[in-house]
Amino acid sequence: MYSGTNTGSFLKHITAQYITKDGLKNLGPAVMRLAECESLDAHRNAVAVRMKDIQN
């Protein structure tokens, strides 16, 4: 007999994503707008800083 939970039920799954410079140029404005709508100011600023870095 097995229960509905196991050791895997207590693990924290972490994902990571990478984005290219071109990807950031394309998605950056939408990501910043989404962050703004959700009041995630630090996330918006993080994208803004990265976008500024790739423009220089």
Cα-based distances in Å from 50 to 3, 27, 44: 46, 12, 10
Per-residue pLDDT of the chain (56 residues; tens, 9 = 90+): 667 888 888 999 999 999 999 999 999 999 999 999 999 999 999 999 999 999 87
DSSP character for 4?
S
Look at residue 1 in the predicted model and tell me its pLDDT. 61
Q: Quick one: pLDDT at residue 3?
A: 74
Which pLDDT belongs to residue 9?
Answer: 86
Q: At what angle do helices 41-55 and 21-37 cross, to 10 degrees?
A: 150
Domain-wise residue ranges, the chain: 18-55
pTM of the model: 0.70
